[in-house]
Amino acid sequence: MPQASTAKASKAPQRRAKGSSDQPPSAAAFPDGLADIQKGMASIFADLADLLGNPSSLGSIYGLLFASPEPLSMDEIVDRLDISTGTASQGLRRLVELDAVVPSKADGERVTRYSAKLELRPFISMFLDQQLMPRLGNSRERLAGLENGLAGLDPSVIQTLQARIERAAKWHRRAMTFLPIIRRFLG
Amino acid sequence: MPQASTAKASKAPQRRAKGSSDQPPSAAAFPDGLADIQKGMASIFADLADLLGNPSSLGSIYGLLFASPEPLSMDEIVDRLDISTGTASQGLRRLVELDAVVPSKADGERVTRYSAKLELRPFISMFLDQQLMPRLGNSRERLAGLENGLAGLDPSVIQTLQARIERAAKWHRRAMTFLPIIRRFLG
DNA sequence: ACCTCACTTCATTTTGAATTGAAGAATTGC
DNA sequence: GCAATTCTTCAATTCAAAATGAAGTGAGGT
């Protein structure tokens, strides 16, 4: 439809005539056409993913799909984002696992097409459940373990350190308590 | 498996039987127990820093100071954490800027010694203010800019995309609203 | 069965942030 | 002033995570 000049039809090694596609980030504040909006979304979500400690390709893919009225095949994703098939394959798998993206095989088609789930919750949960929660839990255990090492130290040192360890532990507890609430709210 | 381990695995075998060489001159040579606890804290906070998108050295330094009854000089920090002077210097500067660590020059001493502020808030603010907030704000602007590119597209596409952009924008607004609340709670 | 096309896997390469370390600047004491 | 000591800076290095891409797998169609 719109000026998508990238005629696929074959996976020949693309050379990507870049004359037109990479605009300077500063200027060109007004995107033009579907492809540009999709690129913009991809970029925004890439940053978000990166912010949350995920590979930015995950975000790019999600963003592209989020800005796609129609589901896209892996090939189209690879083409539009200019990423490798490997990255696309793994990214899509992860996104499907996270329930952020839905695969569908249309009647008689061989290709699987993907569309974004529009709820943003998966994106947040991805972070909370897979990054924050486990790591905080781990830290909490290690913190508790530290108290065992106190025995045998100078009494005044013991007291100081015990108080500090307890302080850190208290903070951990708070964080673990509130994460579910945060998620609930953002979901 | 949630990768993202960034274990950092301090591999320096650290001469265990330290013999006699370097000990803090101030308090009469704490037994080894203290050093281990300090290492543990450093490691825990290193993970935390990493989780929040900061160099883990920042966390190590803070953790060491957090577990130090007495303020430490940069030299002692370098020695205990086995990091370079460059890393220590920059890390300390950052931590002081963030108000997570306090420098003090004791009477007649040439060295500056550092101690951790015990409130954990700076550590959280470091993340919220310096990572999340600016980036979310930036994304929000870019999102808004995307709507300008809609003109000229197929009407049904416009409608779909506008709804989706609005959805993302709404989410952004929510996040920006709640961050201060989160901070308030964790501080 | 055989061929094709769609996708996955994974050893290698790339990338970029963190770290190093030595040269230079700043501060203090003489 | 000079010397000694503490600290900063930054070009070069390191290293792990991410991306690549070609070989491998397997499902469909004929």
What does the pLDDT look like over A2-49, one tens digit per residue? 433 333 333 333 333 333 444 444 444 556 689 999 999 999 999 999
For residue A139, the chain B residues in CB contact (below 8 A) are 44, 47-48
Which helix (H) or strand (E) segment holds residue B115: the answer is strand B113-116
pLDDT of residue A25: 42
Mean pLDDT over B60-76 rounds to 97
Put the strands of the sheet holding A72-73 in their side by side order: A72-73, A113-116, A101-104
In chain A, pLDDT over 70 holds for what percent of residues? 82
Question: Two tokens at A132?
Answer: 């924050």
- Confidence grade of residue A107 (pLDDT, cut at 50, 70, 90): confident
From the alpha carbon of B108, which nucleotide's C1' atom is closest? C28
Higher-confidence position of A89 and B24: A89
Structure tokens belonging to residue B155:
């009407």
Summarize pLDDT for A114-146 with one digit per residue, the tens. 999 998 887 777 778 878 888 999 999 999 999
Lowest pLDDT segment from A37-46, B46-55, B117-126: B117-126
Is pLDDT of B149 > 70? yes
Q: What are phi and psi of B47, to 5 degrees?
A: -60, -45
Give the side-chain half-sphere CA count within 13 A for B38: 26
- Give CA–CA dist B111/B75, Å, rounded: 9
Output the CA–CA distances (angstroms, integers) from residue A56 to A48, A94, A117, B69, in the order listed. Answer: 8, 13, 18, 41
3-state helix, strand, coil in chain A (%, to 5): 60, 5, 35
First to last CA, chain B: 32
pLDDT computed for residue A11 by the predictor: 35
How does residue B30 score in pLDDT terms, banded at 50, 70 and 90? very low
Report the gap between the CA of A13 and the closest CA in chain B (Å): 31
Q: Which residue has the tokens 């890439």?
A: A46
**pLDDT at position B169:** 94
Is the pLDDT at B50 greater than 90? The verdict is yes
DSSP letters spanning A109-164: -SS-EEEE-S-SHHHHHHHIIIIIHHHHHHHHHHHHHHGGGGTTS-HHHHHHHHHH
Tell me the nt nearest to A49, Cα to C1': D18
pLDDT at A3: 38
Instruction: Give the angle B187-B180-A29 at the CA atoms, nearest 5°.
Output: 140
- Picking from B97, B44, B125, B109, the residue whose alpha carbon sits closest to that of residue B70 is B109
Q: Can you give the pLDDT at residue A19?
A: 38
Q: Which two tokens stand for residue B151?
A: 């003109």
Q: Which residue has the higher pLDDT, A29 or B107?
A: B107
> For residue B13, which amino acid is it?
P
Give the pLDDT score at A187.
62
Whether nucleic acid strand C comes within 7 Å of the CB of B73, the answer is no
Helix axes A85-97 and A56-66, enclosed angle (nearest 10): 80
Q: How many residues does chain A have?
A: 187
pLDDT band at residue A57 using 50, 70 and 90 as cut-offs: very high
pLDDT attached to residue B187: 62
Give the phi and the psi of residue B115 in degrees, each rounded to 5.
-135, 155
The minimum CA-CA distance between A18 and chain B, rounded to whole Å, is 21
Radius of gyration of chain A (CA): 23
Residue A167 tokens, joined: 């302080």
Query: Between chains, do A30 and B145 touch, taking CB under 8 Å as contact?
Result: yes
Mean pLDDT, residues B154-166 taken together: 95
Please indicate whether residue A19 or residue B32 has the higher confidence score (pLDDT).
B32
Q: How far apart are CA A175 and CA B6, in angstroms?
A: 21
Q: Is residue B2 very low, low, confident or very high in pLDDT (cuts 50, 70, 90)?
A: very low
Whole-number pLDDT of residue A109: 86
Distance CA A62, CA A171 (A): 34
- Decide: CB of A104 under 7 A of nucleic strand C: no
Cβ-defined contact of B153 to A34 (cutoff 8 Å):
yes
- Which among B26, B171, B184 is the top mutation candidate for probing chain A, defined by the most A β-carbons within 10 Å of its own β-carbon? B171
On whether the CB atoms of residues A149 and B40 are closer than 8 A, the answer is yes
Higher pLDDT, A184 or B90: B90
Closest-CA residue to A114 (of A106, A126, A124, A122): A106
Mean pLDDT of B3-25: 37
Interchain CB distance below 8 Å, B4 and A40: no
Chain C nucleotides reached by a protein CB under 7 Å: 5-11, 17-23, 28-29
Residue A33's pLDDT is what?
86
Place of tokens 């088609």: A109
Residue from the list B31, B118, B135 with its beta carbon closest to the beta carbon of A164: B118
The encoded tokens of residue A49 equal: 């993913």
